[in-house]
Amino acid sequence: MAGTNPSPSEYIQHHLQNLTYGNHPEHGWSLAHSAQEAADMGFWAIHLDTMGWSIGLGLIFLCLFRKVAKSATTGVPSGLQNFVELMVEFVDQSVRETFHGRSRLIAPLSLTIFCWIFLMNLMDLIPVDWLPGVAAKVGEMFGADPAHVFFKVVPSTDINATLGMSLSVFALIIFYSIRVKGLKGFLAELTLHPFNTPNKLAQIALIPVNFLLEFVTLIAKPISLALRLFGNMYAGELIFILISLVGIWQLPLHFPWAVFHILVITLQAFIFMMLTIVYLSMASEDH
């Protein structure tokens, strides 16, 4: 951490900094030792902690559900099988009630989104010093300065992760829009709505206005998805960090906030999933 006895500001900044690898203008390809070095690495720098935890938690989800699927029985189910079946039925019901098109992708996609984001959010309940402290010890064993070993464990508090997921949803929105309406229909939706008139000259004049309004509406979908998840989880993480600074009051404050935060992390995963279903359903409607 930043010094043996870091100030509150240094402590917070250290916990909010990602483990970043990239091409530094002076040091070449290396790990960033400060927030400034991470910024100097530019757009192509990689947050190794975000990537590692995202992939790892995704693999846990896949392996867990695959194991249950292979060992599923019609007899007395195990507790894990009951839980997985409950999750599948819950997501399937949500898709049936919300998605009005036809697609074999939406239900498994929605299940993956909900479980994956929930697992990433769940990492926020781990005390903020535990895993970064382990990372600092490991870094020290390899000769690194513990003050320069950064390690964030909640991928959904990284705007790069949430924006990456929302851009994937945005790509699916475009795909389903063109698939259902055709390229001509998709472009017509962007340029002939919301203002439409039988007069051709007036309609041509309204194309720039329609395109601006529809484009803003379209691009707002992935941006709102990313910022909503990131903002709520980042705020929750920051509160946990602030709680860890209060000394003997840490446990009495940590427990009630953690209980409340369970609702937050579940709700944020659910909202991301439901908005994805809604957006894809809207894209699949042929007016």
Neighbour order of strands in the sheet with 46-47: 28-31, 20-24, 46-47
pLDDT at 280 over 90: yes
Q: Which of 33-47, 64-78, 245-259 has the lowest mean pLDDT?
A: 245-259
Q: Which positions are catalytic?
A: 224, 228, 232
CB of 2 closer than 8 Å to CB of 11: yes
Average pLDDT over residues 257-286: 95
Instruction: Indicate whether 251 pLDDT > 50.
Output: yes
The length of the chain, given as a count of residues: 287
pLDDT on residue 246: 83
Non-local (6+) Cβ contacts of 193 within 8 A are 210, 214
Q: How confident is the model at residue 67 (pLDDT cuts 50, 70, 90)?
A: very high
d(CA 78, CA 94): 24
8 Å CB contact between 272 and 229: yes
pLDDT score of 101 more than 90? no
User: pLDDT for 208-219, tens place per residue?
Assistant: 999 999 999 999
Residue range 104-130: average pLDDT? 96
Token output for 192 = 């002939």
pLDDT for res 4 = 60
Separation of alpha carbons 161 and 152, rounded Å: 12
Q: Tokens for 205?
A: 């004049």
pTM, 2 dp: 0.93
- Looking at residue 29, the DSSP 8-state letter turns out to be E
SS3 46: strand
Residues 147 and 108 sit within 8 Å (Cβ to Cβ): no
The string of DSSP letters for 180-203 reads HHHHHHHHHHHHS-S---S-HHHH
Alpha-carbon distance values, 235 to 114, 193, 231, 263 (Å): 20, 38, 6, 14
Closest listed residue to residue 36, CA positions, set 50, 24, 49, 28: 24
Distances (CA, A) of 121 to 13, 69, 126, 171: 20, 24, 10, 24
In terms of average pLDDT, the best of 98-107, 245-254, 259-268 is 259-268
Over the stretch 168-186, which tens digit does the pLDDT of each residue have? 999 999 999 999 999 999 9
Q: Is 31 helix (H, G, I), strand (E, B) or coil?
A: strand
HSE of 20 in the Cβ direction (CA atoms, 13 Å)? Answer: 24
Work out the angle at residue 23's Cα, subtended by the Cα atoms of residues 18 and 26, and round it to the nearest 5 degrees. Answer: 110
Going by the DSSP 8-state scheme, the letter that residue 42 receives in this structure is: -
